[in-house]
Structure formats: C-alpha cells, structure tokens
Amino acid sequence: MSFSPYQLARERRELKLQVPLDELPRFAALLAADGDAVAVSVRFELDGQGRCRMFGHMRTRQRMRCANCREVEAFDLHVEVDACILSSEDAAREVVDEVDPLIMEGKTASTAELFEDDLLLVLPERPCFGREDCPHRPPVIAESLPAGERRNPFAALAELKEDGLQNRDDS
C-alpha cells in the first residue's frame, strides 16, 4: 500500500490503518512469531513553511525473544509519531534540530517507509519488562576455588615473557 503524504497534507487528512506485519518486513524479522497488525492513527498537514508534517501514534502487541534469557515474551508498543517528511538529505539537515526528519524519495511512500523506522527505534532489547534483572534469566554460578588454588589471570603472560627472555638469552 502506498500513499502520497504531500497530497494528504494538502487535504489535512487523517489515516487510520491496521498495517499487517508483512508490510513491515524489517520489523517483522526481529519478532519471534506472527504478531498483531500495527494500528496506525496519523494526520497529515502542512506547517508554516509548507513542509509536510505527520502526527499521531501507533500501537501493537508483539512477541519477541529476550536478549537475556532467550524466552519469548509478549509486549505492547505505543509509538508517538511526529515527523517532517522531506525529499532530500540537505532539507533534513536544515530541520534536524527542530523535528524528526523522514526522507521520502518520490511522490509516494509505502507503509514501511512511513512507519517502520519509528517501530524499530522503540523495539525493546529485553521484552521481559525491559528490566536489567530479567525474571527468566538463568542464574550465574561462579566457581569458587580455595585461596591457595587461585591462579593469577596474568600467569600465562608471565610465562610467555619468561620464555621470550630465555630464547633471547639462548641466541
């Protein structure tokens, strides 16, 4: 599906869509299983400088493998959208301090071009509640050796250094 954001902005239109994951391939590739469609609600308008602006939000519920425990967890995403749609890198550099630029080549854009980057930016690394202390993380069991049996971690380097000095003396 593709849209003409500038035309939508001139008409001050609002879009309410259910975007299936197959239209967002980079986003879908990071998920663990088929999830819900992404509910998109955005409006388009021209700002005071005649630039195309897109405002709104996206919501979805997905499942993803946690980077800590490797368990698949479900999570909700809510993404606020506030972007200025531009046609070149030069135009984007001019507004990057004021708004989030979205560069669009051509007159139309696909749903992936308009929405996928914002979804990727908010994707959690640890969907297990986004916490460092993942509730499913396997415990780490450290081996403890008696004090006399502990080996200096740099002992191997010392041995290499001694071997190098002996080889130099033998020469």
Q: Is residue 153 domain-resident?
A: no
Number of domains in the chain: 1
**Domain contains 160:** no
User: How confident is the prediction along the chain (171 residues), in pLDDT tens digits per residue?
Assistant: 788 999 999 999 999 999 999 999 999 999 987 788 999 999 999 988 888 899 999 999 998 887 777 778 888 899 999 988 887 777 777 776 677 888 888 888 888 889 999 999 988 876 665 555 666 565 555 555 565 566 676 777 777 777 766 666 665
In a domain, 156, yes or no: no
Residue 154: inside a domain, yes or no? no
Q: Is 166 within the bounds of a domain?
A: no
- Please report whether residue 72 resides in a domain: yes
Per the structure, the complete domain to which residue 98 belongs is given by: 2-122
Q: Where are the alpha helices (DSSP H) in the chain?
A: 5-10, 25-29, 89-95, 111, 117-122, 155-170
Q: Answer yes or no: is 132 within a domain.
A: no
Handedness of CA 110, 113, 114, 117 (dihedral sign): positive
Please count the other Cβ atoms lying within 10 Å of the Cβ belonging to residue 57: 14
| Structural domain includes residue 41 | yes
